[in-house]
Amino acid sequence: MEEIKKDLDYYLNLNWTLIEGQDLDFDGNPYFYIEIKEIPSFTFCAKTLARARENYKKQLRLSLMVMLENNEVIPEPGQEDDDVDWEKLCP
């Protein structure tokens, strides 16, 4: 059985659990955000939901590149971890 190479392309093509929402900035203007359930530190914001959906993968690519360079464990969709080590995720 061939081992899957877990590189940047592998992670970019996973079926991430997106959490979409809307909030107000400090001036009371609405903005939209996308979070990824599996990566608690990830949030991408834009003025419209369409723009957020179009562009969050650019930020995801950068985030994953840093995580891979730092040899961080990248939780994948479908992996349930009841014992999340928040100290390691958010030092």
pLDDT at 85: 65
| Per-residue CA distances from 75 to 20, 35, 41, 54, 81 (Å) | 19, 14, 12, 23, 9
The pLDDT assigned to 3 comes to 77
Low-confidence ranges of the chain (pLDDT < 50): none
What per-residue confidence (pLDDT) applies to 1? 66
pLDDT of residue 78: 86
Q: What is the pLDDT of residue 66?
A: 96
Q: What is d(CA 54, CA 75) in angstroms, rounded to the nearest whole number?
A: 23
pLDDT in the model for residue 50: 96
The answer to whether the CB of 20 falls within 8 A of the CB of 37 is: no
Domains of the chain: 8-71 (3.30.160)
Which has the closest alpha carbon to 60: 35, 84, 27?
35
Q: What is the structure's pLDDT at 88? A: 66
List of residues 6+ apart from 45 with CB closer than 8 A: 31, 32, 33, 52
* Phi and psi torsions of 33, nearest 5°: -135, 155
Question: Which pLDDT value is given to residue 79?
Answer: 80
Q: What pLDDT was estimated at residue 91? A: 59
